[in-house]
Amino acid sequence: MHMANGARTIPFSEREDIRENSFKHVWTQELDHVFADVAAYYDRANSVASLGLWDYFREQFLSMIELRPGQKALDVCAGTNAIGIAMLKKQPDLQVYAIDRSHAMQEVGRKMAGELGLHIDSTIGDVHHLPFPDNHFDVVTLQFASRHLRVVEVFTEIKRVLKPGGHFYHSDMLRPDNWLVQKVHYCYLRMCLTVTAWIFSSGPWALNCRDYFMNALNMFYSAEELTDLLSHIGFRDIKCKSLMGGLLGYHKAVNGKKG
């Protein structure tokens, strides 16, 4: 399941086929159970696994997002609504929509938003086929989920629902180009997945997917490759920021289609 060497020579469509063929069973049969297992402690577990840097990573992402009053924003793979809530705190006069496949994660997210007196329109569905009209949103965000998706298909859908000139903001763990950074990071990740699962008494579905999380990251894109992929789909004015030697990447892109 290793694609790092010479991956740039493989067309995006072929790479996506390889990823899907490798992980289709997990994506379609197991991930819903995994996120049901972890929903109640998802944000706390990420804070532990990141050695307390989770809020910093999120703040770096939010600092890129430009919002104006009255805009419509869609958070794709919204999980516990952390980004939607943060956007409403940043710009209260915003219409925020969330879509996620996990009922359990969105239930936690709805409760979190409600406790703060915030409203987020929630949809449970497949993000590969967004149930929204063309040219509908000013802003779309997607954070820490792309490794579990057919990226070209999802990004193309995001481009469709964005208004011309609308902004797409993306963040995820990426595959570092540097082999030494990769090796050190994967060793740490394998250890922290085990420790975090023990601390939070993870259920069997989450425990059984530890190898999947490693393989999915190993076969994912680097920051530079993701920039090329966004350009290939038709986004323009793409900005990229990497942290920790390329382990984490942030992308900002403009929908280049005509109105």
What digits encode the pLDDT tens for the residues 54-96? 899 999 999 999 999 999 999 999 999 999 999 999 999 999 9
Which domain range does residue 71 map to? 9-178+206-255
Give the amino acid at 5.
Answer: N
Give the amino acid at 18.
Answer: I
Sign of the dihedral defined by the CA atoms of residues 43, 45, 48, 51, in that order = negative
Q: pTM of the full predicted structure?
A: 0.92
In this structure, is residue 242 part of a structural domain? yes
Least confident of 32-36, 84-88, 207-211, 234-238: 207-211
| 3-class state of residue 100 by DSSP | strand
Residue 31 has pLDDT above 90, yes or no: yes
In this structure, is residue 196 part of a structural domain? no
Residue 25 has pLDDT above 50, yes or no: yes
Query: HSE on the CB side for 80, CA within 13 Å?
Result: 16
**How many domains in the chain?**
1
Spatial separation of the C-alpha atoms in residues 181 and 164, rounded to whole Å: 38
What digits encode the pLDDT tens for the residues 180-228? 777 777 777 777 777 787 777 778 878 888 889 889 988 999 999 999 9
In this structure, is residue 120 part of a structural domain? yes
In this structure, is residue 92 part of a structural domain? yes
In this structure, is residue 41 part of a structural domain? yes
In this structure, is residue 191 part of a structural domain? no
Going by their DSSP bridges, the two strands 248-255 and 162-173 should be labelled as antiparallel
